[in-house]
Homo-oligomer: A and B are copies of this chain.
Amino acid sequence: MKHKAINVGLIGLGRIGKMHANNISQKLPFINLKSVIDPAPDLEFIQNLGPVESYINEDDVLYDNNIDAVIIASPTPTHYELIKKSIKHKKHVFCEKPVSFSKKEIKEIIEISSGCDTLIQIGLNRRFDQDFIMLKDKIKNGLVGKIHMIHITNHDASIPKFKFLKSSGGMLFDLCIHDFDMLNFLTAEKIKEIYVNGNVFIEPRLKEIDDIDSAIITLELESGVLCSIDSSRQTHFGYDQRVEVFGSKGMVSVKNKSENLSFYSNEKHTMKSKKQYSFIERYQDSYIKELEHFYSCVSSGNKPIAGLENILTAIKVSAAGEKSMQTNNPEMVKL
């Protein structure tokens, strides 16, 4: 075998942590899941992973000399400290977005990490989705000419539990951050200005914590390109993930992924397959590809293509968006 496997420890076994664990044990033969850390471990789930050590304290990973890298999938507020510790213990880091709600903290980590060999990749998985990569290529190859407008639709199928929402950092930091990064990914431009008109239609308790569940967002890129995002926490009908890029020569778009290839017509209706239901299904391949990329960077020492700079760029937009909601005016993004 030409490939040398790496040993990883996974911190956090929530929904996304479990997905990474399954992907590693079933689909990523060159990543060896040595340990999992969770304060309240789901033993049945862990047993099904095969031979893996289970701990409740992260030190059991950080002090383990046989572990090359950590995958951080614990709640966002823990990320900042965990990354700093990982750097200290010379573990490469794959960390879920958004890392931190504070630009200062992310900048600090960038500074610390810049002086050492530790590689840090952020879970901006959509950058590894074949359809968005293809879209970026088409733009690059001139199919739309000069870009005029971009429209993104980003609706979750069903709203997460209120407990999760409370610690999520808010819709702009948790959900729309993917779209802010997507605009940067597709155009290689930064966002200059943001205006957010948000509302609470789905989960009334969000009002108490100054969050929203639905938003229409207008953005302007550095070059003047106009962007709009329609986003919400719940469609009921599936995961609604579309992008349209409109320019001087035409339009390229990415449509939704259907669950299956079937059609049905009867006296009353003509039906096609539903859309895929969740990010886990729609972005299934990208979650695997991002870890393959991480493996490849750790093996070769190359810097990951989805790094702290990218999440910092997106976090700045989320922060300006939050301000826009407070002032009800467009706000410049501090670059």
Contacts and interface: CB of A to CB of B under 8 A. Distances in A.
B148 A232 contact: yes
Contact of A252 (B215, B264, B274): B264
B264 A143 contact: yes
A271 B134 CA distance: 14
A328 B220 CA distance: 12
A60 interface: no
Contact of A262 (B131, B201, B248, B267): B131
Given A218-B218, A226-B199, A270 B271 contact: yes
A51 interface: yes
Contact of A246 (B48, B155, B198, B274): B155
A251 B264 contact: yes
Interface in A1-33: 1-2, 25-27, 29
A2 B47 contact: yes
Nearest to A330: B328
A254 interface: yes
Contacts of A50: 1, 29
A288 to B, nearest CB: 11
A51 B271 CA distance: 46
Contacts of A143: 264, 266
Interface of A: 1-2, 25-27, 29, 47-48, 50-51, 130-131, 134-135, 138, 143, 146, 148-149, 151, 153, 155, 193, 195, 197-199, 201-202, 214-216, 218, 220, 224, 226-228, 230, 232, 235-238, 240, 246, 248-258, 260-267, 269-275, 328-330
